[in-house]
Amino acid sequence: MRKMVEYVVLAALVHEPRSGYDLTKWLTRVASHFWPVVHSGIYPALAVLEAEGLVHYEAVASEQGPERKVYSLTVRGREELLAWVDSPAPTAQVRDEQLVRALCYGYLPREEALARLAQVRQAHTERLAHYEGLERQIVAADEIGAGGSGIAGPARVGKLLVVRCGIISEQGYLRWCDEAALLIESMRMVVEA
């Protein structure tokens, strides 16, 4: 049974060939909101996939720093990836410490809860801006590459889908923050100092 990080690597490589370093950076930028990766997980995954003939690499001299191993999918790699893509996915798993805390906001002094919420809102505003920036990049790249046809090419579809999901969920989180602030303001005080 293949590890998820291996599929993530395959999914990144179907878009374009990349080195482990590039893969890490790209995935951190565009995929961290649905699958976090760190470089120390990427390199072993690439080694496994290479040993099994799903990817292969070309050593390319770097302008700066050590030699780069630029990986791309083999035919078998692409086949195995797409077979997996067209299979049912288990329910997404979320670990949101903030919501565990939110479960107890009723037991916190009102201003403390509101202050925490304001911080959370700020963080999500920044993340939303990040995804909106990515979206603009994708749209801009389309206008150059496809003459602004508006018709989606295979690589563009995937990138757009995940960035749109990021945007929608951040917008939702912001809506929640506003709603939560209203609810907390209406809260009976538990402790009056």
Site for DNA in 67-96 (CB under 7 A): 67-69, 93, 95
- Say how far apart CA 141 and CA 34 lie, in whole Å: 23
Neighbours of 40 (CB within 10 A): 8
Interface stretch with a copy of itself, choices 17-25, 42-50, 59-67, 174-182 (CB under 8 A): 174-182
Q: Applying CB under 7 A, does 4 fall inside the site for DNA?
A: yes
- Say how far apart CA 62 and CA 65 lie, in whole Å: 6
Residues in 7-46 at the binding interface with a copy of itself, rule: CB under 8 A: 7-8, 11-12, 14-15, 31, 33-36
Residues in 63-122 at the binding interface with a copy of itself, rule: CB under 8 A: 78, 81-82, 84-86, 88-108, 112, 116, 119-120
3-class SS letters over 40-83: HHHHHHHHHHHHCCCEEEEEECCCCCCCEEEEEECHHHHHHHHH
In the numeric block, which tokens belong to residue 3? 């590890």
Write down the least CB distance from residue 4 to DNA, Å: 3
**Looking at 62, 119, 122, 171, which residue binds DNA (CB under 7 A)?**
62
Residues in 114-173 at the binding interface with a copy of itself, rule: CB under 8 A: 116, 119-120, 123, 150-162, 164-165, 168-169, 171-173
- Say how far apart CA 26 and CA 42 lie, in whole Å: 12
- Say how far apart CA 81 and CA 139 lie, in whole Å: 26
Q: Give the Å distances, CA to CA, from 82 to 28, 145, 193.
A: 22, 25, 60
**Looking at 66, 186, 192, 193, which residue binds a copy of itself (CB under 8 A)?**
186
The residues of the shown chain that bind DNA, judged by CB under 7 A, are 1, 3-5, 19-22, 25, 36-41, 43-44, 46-47, 62-69, 93, 95
